Amino acid sequence: MNIKKICCIGAGYVGGPTMTVIAQKCPHIEVTVVDLNAERILAWNDENVENIPIYEPGLSSIVAEARGRNLFFSTDVEKAIDEADIIFISVNTPTKTYGKGKNMAADLKYIELCARQIAKVAKSDKIVVEKSTLPVRTAEAIKSILDHTGNGVQFQILSNPEFLAEGTAVEDLLHPDRILIGGDRTPEGQEAIAALVAVYANWVDRDKILTTNVWSSELSKLTANAFLAQRISSINAMSELCEKTGADVNEVARAIGMDSRIGNKFLKASVGFGGSCFQKDILNLVYIAKSYGLHEVADYWEQVIIMNDHQKRRFSNKIVQTLYNTVADKKIAFLGWAFKKDTNDTRESAAIYVADALINEQAKIAVFDPKVSESKVLSDLNYLQSRSSDENKDAISSLDSAYSACKNAHAVAVLTEWDEFKEYDWTKIYESMQKPAFIFDGRNILDKQILEKIGFVYCGIGVL
Ligand code: UDX
Ligand code: UDX
């Protein structure tokens, strides 16, 4: 099968950038990204490409190149499904907030809605690709819906998980470590796999395109995220021990990272990992393991989350303890709100939980993040439902510069590792703050020696 038209359902952090890069690299394929959220589609179509809804370095220029040529954003889901040879499902799969598997299992209601819509609309054979991260054996459910409710057309289901990390999405999409495609072992399944391989082969070496069965592909995605998150919880566990023993976690990370079997990536101690994937995917893994009665496996992976929650709590506790056991009515400046640098995404950001804990202690938080708006900060806090939205408004504000956020503050807390924080005039910041002036570097990005020379009391993660 020769792919001429692609439809992607879900114009989010995964669907938007992925389809943009496919469109750029495959000018002979028409790519339409659809979403139920009309506002989001409007933003993707904004005349000024800097207003697209997702900030990723390098993304807007590729959108400018491909949009209107072979890349389209639309709310007409049915038309796009009808016309496409291949349909990517890239809708969100949040953790369930109700019923069986509450707070653990993935909520598949959007996936099921997509499957039903595809079944209703499709009048010709289609390849349906799971792009969203899903529990193992979801493809089976999608197939069952398509086969039983469809118009008698043939569907092939492929699993093609996305490994891009936010902040480096474009780079990761252009130069992936690997592309993973899972499909049926049947001749039709193999044909569908070959069709998708041919799309990626427009810019990815064939030897980096792995093909597996559907279940291996689905489970590989969860496993990759679990291993990555586990490394962070492992180094964060060591950071606490470092603080007790006088070891320096940055030195420990460097020393172990030089062992080629361990490797030096993903060993940065931090206030805790955030993002839409790690916690959700591990909880999902834990749920699946439990549902098969594999309690030791479930407990093993759950510990990664427990450690991460502990790390976030430990950070806020440390701020309170260091500020003489009270932060009531003290201004604390937050540098960074996004879950990592170079993104405007705040989902599960450690900053939200640290702010919540400090507001419980009646602190006043002043946030500066180069890419996150005040309304986002507030809605993130409101989402926790710890207090009323008016109370949150009173406790937290967002400023348009770090200098104004830090003015008169008792402490600065670095929550996101934005590069620009390293370039600030820290002497000027010091002079504008209450004394003693404290810095809680939740990302270990600032220079302790320089800051101490200026007069700050510096507290990093895993360093004395
Ligand atoms: C999401 C999941 O978080 C991730 O696990 C999965 O791998 C891919 O989907 P992301 O793109 O970051 O990743 O989510 P989000 O930015 O929320 O985008 C999903 C989009 O799907 C939203 O714009 C939403 O409006 C849209 N959507 C959702 C639909 O168009 N139809 C639906 O039925 C449900
Ligand atoms: C992750 C995976 O990396 C990606 O392959 C998958 O497709 C989606 O989930 P993402 O969540 O976008 O990507 O970002 P990532 O770079 O993995 O960072 C996740 C969190 O871990 C961030 O909060 C980050 O700050 C934190 N982190 C990362 C650390 O605390 N220490 C590290 O050494 C690395």
Q: What is the mean pLDDT of residues 353-376?
A: 97
> Residues 311-356: pLDDT tens digits?
999 999 999 999 999 999 999 999 999 999 999 999 999 999 999 9
Distance CA 117, CA 12 (A): 19
Mean pLDDT calculated for residue range 181-202: 97
Give pLDDT, residue 149.
83
- pLDDT tens-digit series, residues 254-279: 999 999 999 999 999 999 999 999 99
Flag whether pLDDT at 134 surpasses 90.
no
Is residue 115 predicted with pLDDT exceeding 90? yes
Cα-to-centroid distance, 146 and ligand 2 (Å): 34
- How remote is the CA of residue 229 from the centroid of ligand 2, in Å? 7
Out of 75, 91, 282, give the residue to mutate to test ligand 1, the one with the largest number of ligand atoms within 8 Å of its CB.
91
* Nearest ligand for residue 164 CA: 2
Confidence (pLDDT) at 46? 97
Ligand nearest to the CA of 173: 2
Ligand 2 centre distance from Cα of residue 22 (Å): 23
* Atom nearest to 281 CA in ligand 2: 9
How high is the pLDDT of residue 254? 98
pLDDT of residue 123: 93
| Residue 298, token pair as written in the block | 């479930």
**Cβ atoms of residues 355 and 334 within 8 Å:** yes
Residue 388's Cβ-side half-sphere holds a number of Cα atoms within 13 Å equal to 3
**What's the Cα-to-Cα distance from 24 to each of 27, 94, 118, 129, 343, rounded to whole Å?**
6, 29, 26, 20, 22
Inter-CA distances, 276 with 14, 281, 305, 402, Å = 11, 9, 13, 26
Eight-class DSSP state of 456: P
Q: What is the mean pLDDT of residues 6-11?
A: 98
Q: Hey, is 54 helix, strand or coil?
A: coil
Two structure tokens written together for 133: 């991260």
Read off the pLDDT of residues 210-220 as tens digits, 9 standing for 90 and up.
999 999 999 99
Reply yes or no on whether the pLDDT at 136 is more than 80. no
Percent of all residues in the chain with a pLDDT value above 70, rounded to a whole number: 100
DSSP 91-105: ---PBP-SSTTTTTS
Nearest CA to ligand 2 atom 34: 266
Maximum alpha-carbon separation in the chain: 74
Closest CA to 253 of 231, 224, 275, 278: 231
Mean pLDDT along residues 126-152 = 87
pTM of the model: 0.94
| Res 384: pLDDT | 96
CA nearest neighbour of 350 among 314, 386, 385 = 314
**Dihedral, CA atoms, 345, 350, 356, 360, nearest 10 degrees?**
-170
Task: Give catalytic status of residue 114 as yes or no.
Answer: no
Active-site annotation holder among 242, 277, 406, 459: 277
